[in-house]
């Protein structure tokens, strides 16, 4: 990114061209990865077969390209998992960017506002005490209705996020205060979860630990649809507000002088990022690092203009998570590793590489 001069009319156009190219490249990569991910697994399907199947599902003309029973396995088991990887990764990517920008802090991630710990607490409450926002279930209900846990995880993480977001509206509350509030919420809910575990049976604790491990295999079609709806809604709103986010990258006083209502934009953005995180977390558990890493990669690719940064983060997050999950399913096949472990194993070296390459500059 060193200073080119470029012709006067050309400067902005060349900037735009580079960004569109990066977006197109990422979209292609994600498509290829999606097809690859669909084709790997115990029931064998070729890359071309998976590609034809995907085309058939999008535009159902003619006969299905693969045998009926294979098709059922892929559509009912593999496809929701793959799509959940895409939408969840995109949610985390967008949420990470929104949080880092709203808090003007490159170290923020979707979990900075306490979303993961409070979700785990909600899940623990349902699994161990059988208590939840939709009433008192008893153990039988939990095992037959996984949505009791999902609802609990979601409601508690949104409650926590709402508190932290609302704080940003108070006079004199800086982004730093918001981050510290989020961190203290994380401690509070972790402690509460530990307390619950102390009283749980070993099966309940195992169930909870299993829940907390992020696992895309849990996802069914309904989960994919709900998460996708949240993603599309929040993404659209975020895109409409991207000019405000650009201004918010400047100091609060300066953003104010540019006519931005800093506190309101910040609080709304925190709430939106929390929703984008809490929804997939409730369905698939806590998957770390994608929300921290994706924005950095995206910023590296297209810079800080949110009109490009937000879609790039979505694609980057989706690619990272789907890539990690595909690896998690294949490297020790037939054993499937928890994807959260893979995101960290893959992500940390990449992150460090990026940071070192950039020197001391986080942004």
| CA–centroid distance for 57 within its chain | 25
Q: Does 356 bind other proteins (CB under 8 A)?
A: no
Given its phi and psi angles, is residue 59 left (phi above 0), alpha (psi -120 to 50 degrees) or beta?
beta
**Size of residue set near other proteins by CB under 8 A:** 36
Which residues ranging from 249 to 308 are in contact with other proteins (CB under 8 A)? 249-251, 253-254, 256-261, 299, 303-305, 307
Distance CA(203)–CA(199), nearest Å, equals: 12
Q: Does 21 bind other proteins (CB under 8 A)?
A: no
Q: Does 336 bind other proteins (CB under 8 A)?
A: no
Residue among 15 and 66 whose Cβ is closer to other proteins: 15
∠ CA 345-349-351, nearest 5°, is: 110
Q: Does 246 bind other proteins (CB under 8 A)?
A: yes
Please name the residues in contact with 109: beta carbons below 8 A apart, sequence gap of 6 or more.
Answer: 96, 99, 100, 288, 289, 291, 292
Distance CA(176)–CA(59), nearest Å, equals: 49
Interface mask toward other proteins for 73-112; x: CB under 8 A: -------------------------------x--------
Q: Does 173 bind other proteins (CB under 8 A)?
A: no
Token code pair at residue 34? 């999606």
Distance CA(174)–CA(356), nearest Å, equals: 29
Q: What are the Cα distances from residue 233, in Å, to 3, 18, 94, 279?
A: 38, 27, 12, 13
Residue among 58 and 171 whose Cβ is closer to other proteins: 171
Q: Does 56 bind other proteins (CB under 8 A)?
A: no
Q: Which helix (H) or strand (E) holds 199?
A: helix 175-199
Residue from 140, 334, 335, 361 that binds other proteins (CB under 8 A)? 361
Q: Does 325 bind other proteins (CB under 8 A)?
A: no
Interface mask toward other proteins for 221-240; x: CB under 8 A: ------------------xx
Residue among 183 and 250 whose Cβ is closer to other proteins: 250
Residue among 187 and 362 whose Cβ is closer to other proteins: 362
∠ CA 162-168-169, nearest 5°, is: 95
Q: Does 36 bind other proteins (CB under 8 A)?
A: no
What is the contact surface with other proteins in residues (CB under 8 A)?
1-6, 8, 11-12, 14-15, 104, 239-240, 242-243, 246-247, 249-251, 253-254, 256-261, 299, 303-305, 307, 361, 363
């Amino acid at each position: 990114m060193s200073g080119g001069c470029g012709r006067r009319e050309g400067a902005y156009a060349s900037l735009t061209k580079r960004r569109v190219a990066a977006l197109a490249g990422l979209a292609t990569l994600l498509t290829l990865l999606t097809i690859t991910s669909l084709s790997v697994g115990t029931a064998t399907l070729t890359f071309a077969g998976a590609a034809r199947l995907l085309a058939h599902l999008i535009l159902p003309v003619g006969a299905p390209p693969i045998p009926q029973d294979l098709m059922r396995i892929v559509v009912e088991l593999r496809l929701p998992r793959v799509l959940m990887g895409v939408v969840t990764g995109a949610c985390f990517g967008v949420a990470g960017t929104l949080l880092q920008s709203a808090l003007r802090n490159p170290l923020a991630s979707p979990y900075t506002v306490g979303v993961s710990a409070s979700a785990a607490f909600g899940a623990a409450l349902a699994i161990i005490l059988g208590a939840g926002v939709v009433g008192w279930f008893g153990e039988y209900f939990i095992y037959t209705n996984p949505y009791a846990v999902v609802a609990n995880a979601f409601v508690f993480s949104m409650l926590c996020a709402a508190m932290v977001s609302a704080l940003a509206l108070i006079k004199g509350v800086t982004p730093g205060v918001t981050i510290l509030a989020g961190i203290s919420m994380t401690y509070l809910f972790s402690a509460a979860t530990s307390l619950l575990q102390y009283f749980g049976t070993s099966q309940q604790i195992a169930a909870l630990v299993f829940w907390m491990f992020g696992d895309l295999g849990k996802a069914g079609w309904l989960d994919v649809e709900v998460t996708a709806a949240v993603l599309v809604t929040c993404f659209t709103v975020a895109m409409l507000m991207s000019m405000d986010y650009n201004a918010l990258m400047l100091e609060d006083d300066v953003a104010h002088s540019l006519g931005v209502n800093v506190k309101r934009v910040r609080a709304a953005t925190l709430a939106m990022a929390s929703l984008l995180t809490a929804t997939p977390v409730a369905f698939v558990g806590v998957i770390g690092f994608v929300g921290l890493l994706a924005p950095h990669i995206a910023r590296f690719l297209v810079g800080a203009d949110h009109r490009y940064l937000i879609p790039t983060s979505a694609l980057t997050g989706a690619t990272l998570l789907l890539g990690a999950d595909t690896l998690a399913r294949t490297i020790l096949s037939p054993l499937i590793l928890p994807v959260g472990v893979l995101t960290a194993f893959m992500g940390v070296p990449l992150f460090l590489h990026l940071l070192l390459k950039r020197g001391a500059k986080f942004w």
